[in-house]
Amino acid sequence: MNIAAIYLYLPLVALIGGAIAGLVFGRFFGVRLLLWLLGAIGAVALLLVIYLTTIGPGEEQAAFVPFAALTGLVFPAIFGAIMGGVAGRALGGRAGRR
Protein backbone atom coordinates (compact mmCIF):
# COMPACT_ATOMS: atom_id res chain seq x y z
CA MET A 1 0.00 0.00 0.00
CA ASN A 2 1.48 3.34 -0.96
CA ILE A 3 1.23 6.70 0.77
CA ALA A 4 -1.67 7.87 -1.41
CA ALA A 5 -3.85 4.99 -0.25
CA ILE A 6 -3.05 5.79 3.38
CA TYR A 7 -4.14 9.41 2.94
CA LEU A 8 -7.21 8.24 1.07
CA TYR A 9 -8.43 5.88 3.82
CA LEU A 10 -7.36 8.04 6.77
CA PRO A 11 -10.49 10.27 6.85
CA LEU A 12 -12.79 7.28 6.49
CA VAL A 13 -11.15 5.44 9.38
CA ALA A 14 -11.19 8.61 11.53
CA LEU A 15 -14.87 9.22 10.74
CA ILE A 16 -15.85 5.67 11.65
CA GLY A 17 -13.69 5.71 14.78
CA GLY A 18 -15.13 9.05 15.88
CA ALA A 19 -18.67 7.83 15.24
CA ILE A 20 -18.12 4.68 17.29
CA ALA A 21 -16.51 6.67 20.11
CA GLY A 22 -19.34 9.21 20.08
CA LEU A 23 -21.95 6.46 20.05
CA VAL A 24 -20.37 4.71 23.04
CA PHE A 25 -19.85 7.94 24.96
CA GLY A 26 -23.34 9.24 24.17
CA ARG A 27 -25.10 5.99 24.96
CA PHE A 28 -23.27 4.72 28.02
CA PHE A 29 -21.38 7.61 29.61
CA GLY A 30 -23.71 10.59 29.23
CA VAL A 31 -23.44 14.12 27.98
CA ARG A 32 -20.63 15.25 30.29
CA LEU A 33 -18.09 12.73 29.02
CA LEU A 34 -19.32 13.18 25.45
CA LEU A 35 -18.52 16.88 25.75
CA TRP A 36 -15.11 16.00 27.22
CA LEU A 37 -14.46 13.80 24.18
CA LEU A 38 -15.39 16.61 21.81
CA GLY A 39 -13.31 19.05 23.84
CA ALA A 40 -10.27 16.77 23.72
CA ILE A 41 -10.54 16.38 19.96
CA GLY A 42 -11.04 20.14 19.66
CA ALA A 43 -7.92 20.76 21.77
CA VAL A 44 -5.88 18.57 19.42
CA ALA A 45 -7.28 20.56 16.49
CA LEU A 46 -6.35 23.83 18.21
CA LEU A 47 -2.80 22.61 18.86
CA LEU A 48 -2.42 21.65 15.21
CA VAL A 49 -3.72 25.03 14.06
CA ILE A 50 -1.31 26.82 16.41
CA TYR A 51 1.54 24.68 15.09
CA LEU A 52 0.56 25.51 11.52
CA THR A 53 0.61 29.24 12.27
CA THR A 54 4.19 29.02 13.54
CA ILE A 55 5.54 27.67 10.25
CA GLY A 56 7.42 30.41 8.47
CA PRO A 57 8.17 31.13 4.85
CA GLY A 58 10.33 28.52 3.19
CA GLU A 59 9.19 25.75 5.55
CA GLU A 60 6.12 24.70 3.59
CA GLN A 61 7.14 21.04 3.52
CA ALA A 62 7.03 20.95 7.33
CA ALA A 63 3.37 21.96 7.18
CA PHE A 64 2.21 18.96 5.18
CA VAL A 65 1.92 16.39 7.98
CA PRO A 66 0.10 18.67 10.48
CA PHE A 67 -2.25 19.87 7.75
CA ALA A 68 -2.96 16.32 6.62
CA ALA A 69 -3.55 15.26 10.23
CA LEU A 70 -5.90 18.19 10.80
CA THR A 71 -7.98 17.70 7.68
CA GLY A 72 -7.68 13.92 7.43
CA LEU A 73 -7.93 12.85 11.07
CA VAL A 74 -9.16 15.50 13.45
CA PHE A 75 -12.02 17.09 11.50
CA PRO A 76 -13.60 13.76 10.45
CA ALA A 77 -13.20 12.49 14.03
CA ILE A 78 -15.03 15.56 15.39
CA PHE A 79 -17.85 15.21 12.88
CA GLY A 80 -18.12 11.47 13.53
CA ALA A 81 -18.13 11.98 17.30
CA ILE A 82 -20.91 14.56 17.03
CA MET A 83 -23.04 12.29 14.85
CA GLY A 84 -22.30 9.25 17.01
CA GLY A 85 -23.06 11.23 20.17
CA VAL A 86 -26.43 12.31 18.82
CA ALA A 87 -27.23 8.72 17.88
CA GLY A 88 -26.02 7.45 21.27
CA ARG A 89 -28.19 9.98 23.10
CA ALA A 90 -31.16 8.91 20.99
CA LEU A 91 -30.52 5.26 21.82
CA GLY A 92 -30.16 6.16 25.48
CA GLY A 93 -33.46 8.02 25.40
CA ARG A 94 -35.15 5.14 23.66
CA ALA A 95 -33.89 2.77 26.33
CA GLY A 96 -35.35 5.06 28.98
CA ARG A 97 -32.01 6.27 30.25
CA ARG A 98 -31.04 9.92 29.83
pTM of the model: 0.80
Q: Using one digit for the tens of pLDDT, what is the confidence trace for 35-88?
A: 998 999 999 999 999 998 998 888 888 888 888 888 888 999 999 999 998 988
Q: Using one digit for the tens of pLDDT, what is the confidence trace for 38-52?
A: 999 999 999 999 998
Pick from 76, 72, 74: nearest CA to 10: 72
Question: What is the Cα–Cα distance from 13 to 2, expressed in whole angstroms?
Answer: 16
Question: What is the Cα–Cα distance from 13 to 80, expressed in whole angstroms?
Answer: 10
Quote the pLDDT of residue 26.
86
Pick from 24, 5, 38: nearest CA to 89: 24
